[in-house]
Structure 1
Amino acid sequence: MHVTPTSPPPPTPTDEPIRALEAASDLLKALASPVRLGIVRELSEGGKYVHELVDALGVSQPLVSQHLRVLRNSRIVTTRRQAREIQYDLADEHIAHIVLDAIRHAQE
């Protein structure tokens, strides 16, 4: 007897908004750190290496690396190897708008 794998049922119209809200919530959770917001702010100006982020943010290299890992796992930043270093960039410029608007709003 041959059994064919079943695929999950197609999402219902009410599932789509919930999934979008969950994805937005996950994005905001990934950004919910002053260091990660600072990283995104710095990357909004263009790609940077870890040592540049350390200098700009005034925090330790291990701390920056830890937060970059969270941002990479959330697909907020991308990497590109340049010789022996890794350059970090924002995956999407919309993220920069969200963070920069939030920072401006907090300063009002």
Structure 2
Amino acid sequence: METEAGLEATAALFKVLGSPSRLLLLRLLATEPATVGALAVRSGMSQPLVSQHLKTLRQAGIITVSRTGREAAYQLADHHIAHVVDDAIAHVLEDTTPKEEAS
């Protein structure tokens, strides 16, 4: 059976996005670039845990890092991913109760 183009890569993307912690980091990075320390403070996660999640996001090409001296700032590689996350959150927050049909 032939797989539709892009399905494998999309499944891999959703696998990376399957962590609430990584989604939170992406939401934080959607507003502005940030260092590991700033992300740890804003997310409430430990610095090692933030670093681990950032590594996963970098390997997936979702975020990039720019260095100035010893300081590393992380940012979204493409803001399309922020829209995907926002749309998914909006979807799960929608009222999914079936509406009564008009008589």
The alignment of Structure 1 onto Structure 2 pairs a total of residues equal to 93
State the 1:84 CA deviation.
1.1
- The equivalent position to 1:85 in structure 2, one of 38, 46, 71, is 71
Q: Residue 46 in 1 paired to residue 32 in 2?
A: yes
Percent same amino acid among aligned pairs? 48
Q: Give the alignment of 1:69-108 within 5 angstroms.
A: 69-108=55-94
> Which structure would you say has the larger Rg?
1
Name structure 1 gaps, 5 residues minimum: 1-13
Q: Scaled by the length of structure 2, what TM-score is found?
A: 0.84
Gapped regions of structure 2 (runs ≥ 5)? 95-103
**Runs ≥4 residues deviating over 4 A:** none
The answer for the alignment partner of 1:65 in structure 2 is: 51
State the shift of 1:107 in Å: 2.8
The code of the aligned residue for 1:52 comes to: A
Measured after TM superposition, the shift of residue 106 of structure 1 is: 2.5
Normalised TM-score (structure 1): 0.80
RMSD of aligned residue pairs (Cα, Å): 1.3
Query: Cα offset for 1:66?
Result: 0.4
